[in-house]
Amino acid sequence: MSKILIVEDYKDLSDFYQEFLEGDILFTASDGETAVSFYREYNPDVVLMDLKLPKKSGIDAIKEILQFDPKAKIIAITAYGSTIGSKALEAGAKEVLRKPIRFNELKDIIEKYKSY
């Protein structure tokens, strides 16, 4: 069983991910600050990180998490195109998914990063 940290400020979407990822141990955060502190506390295997977040942006959260743990596997998610997506990659995200994400794509990508 893997630990997944979901960082999403739109509650309905966060609920959807939780329903969808049943079977793994899930932690949810709705802002960048909480995301960083949850990462430090729970050391999840994979992070799903929305990029537009209150308190601390997804990009800054990615940078901080990677400073703490350079091996962190962070998948960035955005509805705002590849300009912000490129910044997430520069910050060290493994991949960027654009919303709306396809069900199987999400499943596949999480499995991929859980596997090593």
Partner 1 sequence: MISKNQDDSFKVLWDNTTYKAITYYNEGKYNEALALAKLSIDIAKKIYGRESTKVAISMNNLSLIYDAQGKFEEAEYLSIESLKIWKNQLGPDDPNIATSLNNLAGIYVSRGKYKEAESLYERSLEIKQKVFGENHVEIATSYNNLADLYRLEKKYNEAESLYNKAIEIFEKTKNNKNPDIGSSFNNLAEILKIKGQYDEALKLYKKAFEIWKTSYGPDHPDIATAINNIAGIYYLEGNYAEAEKLYKEVLKIDEKIYGQNHHYNAMTFNNIALVKEGIGQYEDAEKYFKEAIEISQNTLGKTHPSLVIYLNNVAGLYRAKERYKEAEFYFKRGLLVLEKAFGTSSPDVAMALLNLAEMYDSIGRVEEAKRFSESAKSIYKKAFKNS
Task: State the chain's maximal CA–CA distance in angstroms.
Answer: 34
Q: Which two tokens stand for residue 64?
A: 């901080």
- Tell me how far the alpha carbon of residue 83 is from its chain's centroid: 18
Beta carbon nearer to partner 1, 41 or 108: 108
Taking alpha carbons only, the member of 25, 19, 18 closest to residue 1 is 25
Shortest gap between Cβ of 11 and partner 1 (angstroms)?
Answer: 9
Rounded Cα distance between 86 and 44, Å, is 24
Q: Which residues pair with 49 in a beta bridge?
A: 7, 76
Least separation in angstroms between CB 97 and partner 1:
11
Closer residue to partner 1 in complex, CB, 35/75: 75
- Our CB check for partner 1 shows the closer of 67 and 86 to be 86
Q: Could you list the residues that contact partner 1 (CB under 8 A)?
A: 10, 12-13, 15-16, 19-20, 22, 78-86, 89-90, 94, 98-103, 111-113, 115-116
Provide the minimum distance between the beta carbon of 83 and partner 1 in the complex, in angstroms, as a whole number: 6
Q: How far apart are CA 12 and CA 41, in angstroms?
A: 25
Query: Rounded to the nearest whole angstrom, what is the least distance from the CB of residue 35 to partner 1 in the complex?
Result: 18
